[in-house]
Amino acid sequence: MRSSCVLLTALVALAAYYIYIPLPSSVSDPWKLMLLDATFRSAQQVSNLIHYLGLSHHLLALNFIIVSFGKKSAWSSPQVKVTDTDFDGVEVRVFEGSPKPEEPLKRSIVYIHGGGWALASAKIRYYDELCTAMAEELNAVIVSIEYRLVPKVYFPAQIHDVVRATKYFLQPEVLHKYSVDPGRIGISGDSAGGNLAAALGQQFTQDANLKNKLKVQALIYPVLQALDFNTPSYQQNVNTPILPRYVMVKYWVDYFKGNYDFVQAMIVNNHTSMDVEEAVALRARLNWTSLLPASITKDYKPVVQTTGNARILREIPQLLDARSAPLIADQEVLRHLPKTYILTCEHDVLRDDGIMYAKRLESAGVEVTLDHFEDGFHGCMIFTSWPTNFSVGIRTRNSYIKWLDQNL
């Protein structure tokens, strides 16, 4: 009996040691976030083991775990009709709010889910619930795109998928089929989905046939650049769940089918050092010392290496492609973008990407709403139902939908 108690105590202590990580007191529901982070880390470690044993790629294994525990079929309710179909060969899940006699044409959002270009799905519970809520509360048609993921495809295939599906949806006959008002369509996405939405918006401004087709864009904690992994938010949140800096850099390398040997060098900005000529010209476009307010920069210092590793950009030139890093796009491209909403979270390595993009868009004459949550963390907006229900998740979702309701 005594040995059993000792063993139980040891197991509890080990579990507590694994789960506990120091978090700022200002973050929403810290113990719940620790549990969520521990669960995700466990899934990552299992997928890494599967990869090590040669059974599957670690991202395929990890996504299998995520989708297996969260996949939801296309289930309709009296308020929202849900169907799975494809737009020009790209899978989509469509959510249609109930018809209203006084409003024959609905507004619409094309939504792009997050997951580091490699994980999640439009068909998992978190995104299904979000899009259902949007369709019901906005009385809208939500098109959630099931784009292809790493490692089955790499950049720019994900962009091609979302562009192809969106172009198909914007055809007059398709809009008529879903009773959508062609003047009230927006694009949106979270995290890597926010990256793809931003890239989509920029591409549309450069296409005469698609220019001005989108009324708004709404970007939720978007990832927007891979030149500087030492912005104040990257420095402040280097180990903050659920997206530590090391993990974000690996997602970038995976997106481009790059070499993991580059990760440590990229973390200290060796890929954009002063002697890397290709990066110098773009540095001013994300000079955070001028783009971020003093309340954000605080005492953080830029990390700019004098000499670095030019081989990284030779092998991964996509790092400097505006399609992958919308924050570095030309000012002329930015000034044609629609009214924009950007949601950022304090406890997120990507916080400053969103704030800098908002500043650059404002400088280009675009109307921007920057919605910042002091207790927010990366990914929080999709965590609104038990057991992963966070107070900041509910507040961010409500604020996001409210903005769409007022501006779309």
Task: Please say if 348 is a catalytic residue.
Answer: yes
Task: Please say if 378 is a catalytic residue.
Answer: yes
Q: Which of 348, 352, 371, 375 is catalytic?
A: 348
Q: Dig out the tokens for 61 from the structure.
A: 């294994």
Pairing status of strand 90-97 against strand 140-146: antiparallel
Query: Are the beta carbons of 146 and 91 closer than 8 angstroms?
Result: yes
- CA atoms 271, 63, 224, 247: torsion sign: negative
As beta bridge partners, residue 112 has 145, 189
- CA atoms 234, 235, 237, 239: torsion sign: positive
Strands lying side by side in the sheet with 90-97: 80-87, 90-97, 140-146, 106-112, 180-190, 216-220, 339-347, 368-377
Q: Which of 28, 47, 188, 191 is catalytic?
A: 191
**Cis ω before 151 (30° cut-off from 0):** yes
Cα 231 from Cα 245, distance rounded (Å): 11
As beta bridge partners, residue 143 has 94, 110
Task: Please say if 113 is a catalytic residue.
Answer: no
Count CB atoms within 10 A of the CB of residue 235.
Answer: 16
Maximal CA-CA distance, the chain: 77
Q: Dig out the tokens for 111 from the structure.
A: 């939504």
Active site residues: 191, 348, 378
